Amino acid sequence: MTAEAHAIRTVEQLLAVLDLDSTQARTTEDIFTGSSHPMPTGRIYGGQVLAQTLLAAERTLPEDRAVHSMHGYFLRPGDATQGLTIAVDRIHDGRSFSTRRSQAYQNGVPIFSMIASFQDHDPGVEHAVPMPEGIPSPESLRPDEDRVDGLPEGTRRMLSDRAADVRHVDSPLFLPSSDEKVPAQAVWMRLRAPLPDDPRLHRAALAYLSDMTIQESILRAHGVYWALPGLKVASLDHAMWWHRPARVDDWLLYVQESPNARGGRGLAQGRIYTRDGVLAASVAQEIMIRVPSQD
């Protein structure tokens, strides 16, 4: 298989996961069903369920009423071998704003719950923090899967089989790094092949990408890496604000920092810029992190 055909296949697999089925079953909520990516750990990737619950909520709204914020909690680990049921509660529809609660279920219990707000286009005051200067271009960096010498071949294959091309400005955190221990990093990312032009799909795919690497500003501050034996990390919650349109099949710069870690939890924040410096979204996530004793 050629590299181009492989890239197209990975994105087609993502689109299949995001293609939710609506059902005729209804109580006071709209019901959708979906499937999951196969995952080596057996657990559902958090960004996937973020994107799916957002798309389900979007399906209950006019196309011109777009999401601008969401706040969600990861309640239980999801099983990637099972399907999901997503229930959307139409909490409120106003003249300019709508609110939806969207929950993903497996085996009759919720694994993820979010509330999202949607708004019609409305002009107003505008400003944005500029994109940092001096960031290397994505073309000058190697893809992550080409920088993981020393990891099992299965890990390299997992990275090359994901729909996103991810390129760390500093060393990827799969293995120990000699980089300075700082609570910040920058990452370029994009989907490996073009998406359809549907803005809702690009907003959902941006949520999908937003869960990738955001935890690493916490790990990097302490010299921790993903392959560290005994390391336990789990996402607790996720918040996201969409500021301006962005295509996820073009390069995006994800600038991340961690202002705090304490009590077995760490907070990470991120800003996502288009390549030409437009601030497209802001992200915040708190994780549980348990680092094995270094004694």
Indicate which residues carry an active-site annotation: 211, 235, 285
Greatest CA span in the chain, whole angstroms?
A: 60
Residue 55, both tokens: 């798309």
AA letter at 196: P
For residue 127, what are the CA distances in angstroms to 43, 67, 278, 280, 281? Answer: 39, 19, 11, 12, 13
Residue 22, both tokens: 């609506």
- Check: CB of residue 60 under 8 Å from CB of residue 118: no
Pairwise CA distance, residues 71 & 48, whole Å: 15
SS3 207: helix
Residue 258, both tokens: 């961690």
Tokens 């994780």, residue? 287
Closest CA to 42 of 74, 14, 75, 80: 80
Pairwise CA distance, residues 127 & 129, whole Å: 7
Give the chain's end-to-end CA distance (angstroms, integer). 47
The residues, ordered by sequence, that sit 6+ positions from 291 with a Cβ below 8 Å of its Cβ are 222, 224, 228, 230, 231
SS3 187: strand
Residue 244, both tokens: 């301006």
Pairwise CA distance, residues 68 & 259, whole Å: 24
